[in-house]
Amino acid sequence: MQYHIIHELPKRLRVRLQVAPNLDLNGEYLKNMFDGISGFSQMAYKSSTKSLVVEYNGDPADKKAILDQLSACCISHFEKGARETQKKSEDPKQRLATKKRALVGQLALRLLSPLLPLPIRAFLLAKASYQVISKGVPPLVKGNLNADVLDASAVSVALALREFGTVKTISFLLQVSDYLEDWTKQKSKESLTGLFDMENEWAWILKDSMETRVPVRDIKAGDTVVVREGHKIPVDGLVSKGEAMVSQACITGEALPVRKYNGVTVYAGTVLVEGKLLIEAVKVAGATRVSQMIKIIEESEDLKASLQSKAEHLADKIVPYSFLLSGLTWLTTGSAYKAASALLVDYSCAIKLATPLTLMSSMISASKNGVLIKGGKFIEEMATIDTFVLDKTGTLTEAKPEVLDVIPFNGFSREYLLRNVACVEEHFPHPVATAVVRKASEEGLDHEEEHSEVNHIVAHGIASEVNGREILVGSRHFINEDKNIDLKIAEKETQKYLADGRSILYVAIGGELAGLVVIEDPLRNGAGEFVQALQKSGVRKVVMLTGDNESAASKVAREVNISSYHSQVFPEDKTRIIRELGVNGHKVAMVGDGMNDAPALSSADVGISMHHGADIAKEVCDVLLMKADLDKIIFARDLSQKTLKRIKNNYFSIVGINSLLIGMGIMGVVPPVFSAFMHNATTVVVAANSLRKF
């Protein structure tokens, strides 16, 4: 089978399968491929994107085995499974509507049952019994004693006892439970789609100087979109004309509208509250930021929190004991009715429904507040973090550092120096690079593309050529130690600025020092309060990492009251420090936004990045802040802890209530039909609790 890797983390692969667009594959068939590989953990298949997310132990040999297994499999192996899946594939809303019609019909038949002829009643009883029993036979044959086997056994016992009314009640309640399970899942997805999705709406585009109404899904990149007051912006794009106030609450969580004007970026799903804008579409339909958020949350349903997996495993493990309890009850009491009570109540249905609904509700709540959590497992991890590792630049300090001074040497002019540094720096999204480019723009220094290919050396700097001469921009280590450029001429200025905690970019042209670019990185507003809030929330340790010099690092550490910090660290050092903390028993969250933070973000239990960061940092992180607000990290941690508390409360409620029902049924306090009714009612109540807003 052909495939290509679209994303990779140390213990996780995302692979896209190259199969026909109209061919859907059965996820269970795919999962069975990897079951024999020792390092394989779990797999999730997304039919809409034809992608697999495979989690394994991180061993390169096991990764190779997984990919080799995937390559060796022929698509024909899955044709039967694919055909079966295609037959069953149906729009979720249509499937829900079909179940609703069947349920209403079943209710009508139950009400009319006394008026129906005996043969018809017998046929309806047989049909209801078959629907329940047929679901329990396949897992029973495989030796998998699950909830379906329990239900089938209960109906079989009721039939044997000639309790036909009980059979009808059980089958009807199971049908109600099945419908409500699909209904709650559909509603949770609709709430997410309603929050963001716009593909089925209409918009106006400017075509040949005329405004034309078109479906949002038909808008193409480059189209000019007209948006007026009170309407949603349907694309990610740039304002080409007009000025307006736009509410970005659904993206960033900002309470107040933001001013948008010519050249400024706007995002799909945000609302224009005042004014009018002409917008050049850049990203449309499924490529917009909100569409990506929807996909991440939907795909994250398959990334279970370990708490959920443990609860489901325990629920399934309890099923054989239900049979044992039923048998012992029959042997000791001789009452088939009491024995049946133990078969009519199970734990797995409610647990398997409540936990994912709680996680999805939590992720939707996070998205509404400008925090994108990429999976249920990361909610659990976030709740138990005891150590935060913070990158200094862009996290504790502002995302927009400023150029404080430009100092030329060796005959180079200040203008020439700033113009050419800006020319090579503009190719990289790092905040320091942006500051240099902004400074050149403010001073009116245009810079044509006169340089050759620009090479970025991670954690060191940039190398290129300008008019045939090599230009190097970067750290002292890069310029002096790696490239042997003499820096003595700049010692006085260097010592002065470093002592004040400033950062310095060293620039060499043609093998000699051309100058210094002094960077001031202002402390982020509220950084000190954020660190204090982390410590008050129970975090045991806060560590700051930075590639800056000791003076700059100690200055920031003092200002935000962090006692543990490391200066002049490289990307591999950040990764090493995080791994050492993990080995020493800490649960670590890493907060960073730069290209060189990506390895550390991947190594942490939870990687957190901000929307203004490098693309690779936003890709590998587990939690993405849509607004550069450190308080959102506190919010995400608090939300995660509330989510786990709700999951645990649901779990104890399910176990407690259902255990009570089993006990009451065995003792003969309540009839089996009452146990069945209360069991299903409990499932519905717990599901409703799971969907409550946080």
User: What's the distance, CA 601 to chain centroid?
Assistant: 14
φ and ψ at residue 55, rounded to 5 degrees: -110, 135
Q: How many CB atoms within 10 Å of residue 76?
A: 9
φ, ψ of residue 611 in degrees (nearest 5): -65, -25
Contact in structure between 574 and 547 (CB atoms under 8 Å): no
Compute the distance between CA of residue 138 and CA of residue 312 in angstroms, rounded to an integer: 20
Q: Say if residues 120 and 294 touch (Cβ distance below 8 Å).
A: no
Residue with tokens 């990779």: 8
Q: What are the strands of the beta sheet with 51-56, ordered from one edge?
A: 3-9, 12-17, 51-56, 40-46
Length of the chain: 694
Angle at 356 between CA 354 and CA 358, to 5 degrees: 65
**Is the Cα dihedral 179, 183, 184, 186 positive or negative?**
positive
Q: Are 346 and 174 in contact (CB under 8 A)?
A: no
Nearest Cα residue to 382 out of 42, 644, 578, 609: 644
Q: Are 85 and 25 in contact (CB under 8 A)?
A: yes
658: nearest Cα among 280, 319, 300, 246: 319
Contact 330, 161 (CB under 8 A): no
589: part of which helix (H) or strand (E)?
strand 588-591
d(CA 513, CA 464): 15
User: Any catalytic annotation for residue 638?
Assistant: no
End-to-end Cα separation, the chain, in angstroms: 44
- Strands 51-56 and 12-17 come out as antiparallel
Contact in structure between 410 and 513 (CB atoms under 8 Å): yes
CA distances from 292 to 233, 296, 360, 613, 647 (A): 16, 6, 16, 17, 27
Sequence-separated (6 or more) residues with CB below 8 Å from residue 691? 184, 187, 188, 357, 361
Beta bridge partners of 56: 40
Residue where the block lists tokens 């038949």: 109
**DSSP 3-state of 593:** coil
Q: How many angstroms separate the most distant Cα atoms in the chain? A: 107
CA–CA separation, 430 vs 408, rounded Å? 23
Using an 8 Å Cβ cutoff, are 630 and 524 in contact? yes
Catalytic residue among 391, 548, 597, 605: 391
168: its two tokens: 């009808």
Positions marked active-site = 391
